[in-house]
């Protein structure tokens, strides 16, 4: 009897919230106030509340879930320990064949893209990719210590150099977005 009463009370408390939510404007119906990038590619969009979203090539706000370090072969940390070689690569030693199989597999698990530290051959396939720019390594300056104009300039220069190089690696739409 107590359990039944708890269920009834729970329904009475939740029902008004569900009804109110049904009348609310879904977040995806609120226009974006800013969109960065080129149509037909993954872009970034900002809503009126200031939240940034990934915008799919079809124009939908989405969570771009990706897998990092997608590689056909990886050495284990322990030189005597196990190493990894993907079946699709081990049987043919063909990176394109491996990449095609890998993109299908990544998508079959519900992921939409691949991230940092992934095999560069994946740039040639229709899959969103992100990169780690390793800015402090490229900038060659000491860590930031406050309002340091030299550090900011070195980081900006490192971003520009790496972004230019990404286009030659197959990234179709490279944009440098500096947050102020």
Each residue's pLDDT tens digit, 77-92: 888 888 889 988 888 8
Which residue in 164, 158, 116 sits closest to 138, CA to CA? 158
**DSSP per residue over the chain, as a string?**
-HHHHHHHHHHHHHHHHHHHHHHSPPGGGSPPSEEES-TTS-EEEE-TTS-EEEE-TTS-EE---EES---SEE--SSTTS--EE-HHHHTT--HHHHHHHHHHHHHHTT--EE-TT--GGGGGSS--B-----HHHHH-SPPP-SS-HHHHHHHHHHHHHHHHHHHHTT-S--------
Residues 6+ apart with CB under 8 A from 16: none
Q: Which of 144, 107, 112, 111 is nearest to 128 (CA)?
A: 112
The pTM of this model reads 0.63
106: nearest Cα among 67, 60, 145? 67
Of the two residues 145 and 11, the one the predictor is more confident about is 145
Query: Average pLDDT for residues 95-121, to the nearest whole number?
Result: 94
User: Judging by beta carbons within 10 Å of its beta carbon (0-12, 13-18, 19+), is residue 95 exposed, middle or buried?
Assistant: middle
Does the pLDDT at position 71 exceed 80? yes
Residue 85 pairs with which residues in a beta bridge?
Answer: 73
pLDDT at residue number 169? 57
The per-residue pLDDT for range 18-58, each reduced to its tens digit, is 333 444 445 667 899 999 888 888 889 999 999 999 999 99
Residues in contact with 141: Cβ distance below 8 Å, sequence separation at least 6, in sequence order:
150, 151, 154, 155
Residue 87, CA distances (Å) to 16, 84, 153, 159 in order:
53, 9, 45, 36
Q: Which of 138 and 56 is assigned the larger pLDDT?
A: 56
């Amino acid at each position: 009897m107590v359990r039944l009463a708890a269920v009834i009370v729970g329904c009475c408390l939740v029902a008004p919230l569900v009804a109110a939510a049904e009348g609310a404007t879904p977040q995806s119906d609120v226009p974006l106030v800013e969109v960065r990038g080129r149509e037909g590619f993954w872009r970034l969009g900002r809503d009126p509340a200031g939240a940034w979203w990934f915008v799919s090539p079809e124009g939908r706000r989405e969570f771009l879930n990706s897998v990092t370090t997608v590689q056909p072969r990886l050495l284990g940390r322990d030189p005597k320990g196990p190493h990894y070689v993907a079946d699709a690569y081990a049987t043919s030693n063909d990176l394109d064949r491996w990449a095609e199989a890998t993109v299908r597999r990544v998508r079959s698990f519900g992921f939409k893209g691949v991230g940092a530290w992934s095999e560069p051959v994946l740039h040639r396939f229709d899959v969103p990719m992100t990169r780690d720019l390793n800015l402090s390594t490229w900038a060659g300056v000491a860590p930031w210590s406050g309002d340091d104009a030299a550090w900011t300039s070195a980081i900006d220069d490192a971003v520009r150099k790496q972004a230019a190089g990404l286009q030659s690696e197959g990234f179709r739409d490279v944009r440098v977005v500096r947050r102020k």
